[in-house]
Structure 1
Amino acid sequence: MGVAHYGRLGYERCDYEGTRFQPCQAAKGTEFCPGAEYLYCNTGYTLLAEIVARVGKQPFREWMKQRVFTPLGMKNTLFYDDDERIVKGRAYSFHKSNDLSAGFYKKSVLSYANAGATSLFTTVEDLAKWINNFKNPTVGNAATMKQMLERGRLTKGDTIPYAFALVHGKHKGLAYYGHSGADAGFRSNITYFPKEDYGFIVLNNQAEANPTGKALEIADVYLAAYQQKGKEAPAPPKPATPENKPATLVNADYVGRYYSPELEAIYTIRQKGNRLELVHVHHGEVPLKPVSKDQFSTDWWFASTIDAVRNSTNAVTGLRISNGRVRNLWLMRLPDDFDASKPPLAGK
């Protein structure tokens, strides 16, 4: 699994504890042959950080501070690899609540301590110094910056937008590169237009925010004189008619509990009013939006598409969850009474 993530292990399920790294032990093989396709995966970066720590013989947090953050003058940047550490002036993150009796927002907890793909605490001012390093290298040199921008290539010869932790793109005719991030309720984006030498940084602590869209909106203000005129916006979708309305759903078909052997986690589908919602003990609850017969979408990025699977008798036997990083994660339906028996008492 290279930096460009040409082939990836099942689901991003890993156990991080200090220097112990147990990657995806329950994963059922790869999503595709290495090099044939591309999907983003956090696990590669967490593994890379562990390699740096072991080869450098010091915590990744300290290695980055000494060799990257301090030379660039990023005084307010650190990797948060201890979830009990108190950081003065830090922001916490939130998400909108579906239970208004508990308030409009709930806290989104960053409840683990691994670094590499996540857990970077920083500021807009510090990230501006990181962007400037591409044009005026202090850390690394021109060859380093060139290599970071090198696009990945598939085995069939096609190049992909992804480089070394940077994504290439175009916006209204202008080339840019950058990256976005999301964890707990934090959302972030860096977009840099090298030819025009404009960089845009958006940091947000509300899960429903769209920092990538906001960065491009700001770019439109500053780069309007350089941009190509876009095509007219496509016509809005036609309203539902008897021919294209989603099939009527029988909610009782889906209500139940579902277990993932890979994640060792249970998700519940329950009915609330006239709608269905997906529930998890840690993530909370989210509405299930019908897309078509036996297919739903949610606002959780890690469960963006959910397909119900039926058996020969037309009963729902499980779910397959997919998103931009995972395909067809299997959750089997549990019997309604699977936990009806009493647990054994201690010492018995």
Structure 2
Amino acid sequence: MASDQSKPIVKGDGARAASDKRPFWGRIAYSGAYQGISDFIFKSKRRQFLLLVSFPIFWVLFAHLGPIVQMFWVSFLDAYPPSAGQEPQLTLDNWAVFFSKSIFTTPFLRTLAFASVLTFATLILIYPVAYFLAKHVKRQNQMIMLLILLIPFWVGEIVRTYAIMILLGNNGALNLLLKALGLIDRPIPFMYTGFSLSLGIVYLTSLYMLMPLYSALEKIPPNYHEAAADLGAGPWRRFWKVTLPLSLEGVTSGCTLVFLISTGYYATPVLLGGPSTTVFAETIAGFFHVAGNEWPTGAAFSCIMLITALALTGVFNKFMGSLRKGNVK
């Protein structure tokens, strides 16, 4: 009679069978290679730090600084994109074009003036809103109010710009309201003027002013105002001596953001502005919209605006920093 021959049991077969039932990522996590890499990285704090900062550094270098460096490089070329068999040459002519005609310097200066004035106007309009939200709305309701204020910013720049166009049109809500009040007989041409462009940019940049101001004002302890009131300071004196100085950090951040963003708007000036409100972004875009070797000139103009805007904001931040130190003293 044949005897049953059982398969010999090898030690470790059970563990191997159990491991085969794990999901794919589970098998990788328990593999020797993965364990070795994990031990190599996480047993050293220095290697952990390098791994942690490598992704942000990679993003900043290649997604932010990379295009800017490329734009600077293109601005010194005599032709771009280069033709087949042609080697681009380095030149400063693209930068010199900016200073050759007033048709280029006028929109440049207009853009800086617009951005400066509108930054100040946005600050004046939004500061009371941020103050009311931070100091007069209950803390549990502040998030709800913020969400309500942020609703218009859930859509893109173009949609919000068209909303301004609908508001200011000849048959828009503003003209209809003025006509209903008996203040006008015919529509006022608000569109394609400095007023329409200013209103549009202030509307689009208000969020970038609101959030830094709200954050700075919300951090001011209430007992500071109470102490000032106990010392006899009235509401206006408390604002000038306590609230405003302690919120200068938010003012600096908000004004910097609004100014830099305002200098770079393109779609909004095209849709809301007119011939007398041409901004520098439109001039720059003109070089990229034509055929030929005009891209280097557009890149040079972009670099000029970038350098000027950063220099002005640097001076502004330096001034505000010294002002804050003076208030602390």
TM-score range relative to shorter protein: under 0.3
TM-score between both structures, scaled by the size of structure 1 = 0.20
Which structure has the greater CA radius of gyration? Answer: 2
More strand by share: 1
TM-score between both structures, scaled by the size of structure 2 = 0.21
More helix by share: 2
